[in-house]
Copies of this chain bind each other. A is one copy, B any other.
Amino acid sequence: MSDDVAAPAEFEVPEGYVALDWRRGFVHQIGPLYRRQGAGGYAMGFLVEPHHTNGMSNAHGGMLMSFADMAWGHVVSVETSSYWVTVRLTLDFLSSAHLGDWVEGESEVLSSEEGLYVVRGRIWTGERTLITGTGVFKPIQRRDPRPGEKAFQAASG
């Protein structure tokens, strides 16, 4: 086991994904994480490595939840170019991810009334759904639009 969170050298990042550049804090600690964006929408992904596993060599539930929080809440960044916080998460665990699996996640907005984003999310590997659930996220502060966000595309388009 190692604290080195660099991806294994032989790992080929799936097409369309780029690594997130977090160099500190919790997201670095549980990384590397990847993001895909483009005409087909966006998603997040990560490869299950030894530092993500439980005693059964599956992705730890906490890792999948942390990933779900980020993958599902990201839609708020895309829609509003804001920092956001998580208000509520409900997660149903359906299946396990194993060491070496490529895990992906995304969400769709159900409602954005009253400044609260309610989303339905899914986490999967290959054809297998790992988690479904609902998230409620609250934008707290606008920031400059970043590539892949609607405000960025509108300004540059």
Contact = CB atoms under 8 A, between A and B. Distances in A.
Interface of A: 1, 3-5, 23-30, 50-55, 59-63, 65-67, 69-70, 83, 85-93
Contact of A60 (B26, B51, B59): B26
B27 A60 contact: yes
Contacts of A55: 25, 83
Copies of this chain in the oligomer: 2
Contact of A86 (B4, B61, B90): B61
Given A25-B52, A89-B93, 14 more contacts: A1-B23, A1-B28, A3-B3, A24-B50, A25-B54, A25-B60, A26-B63, A29-B30, A30-B30, A55-B83, A61-B66, A65-B65, A88-B91, A89-B90
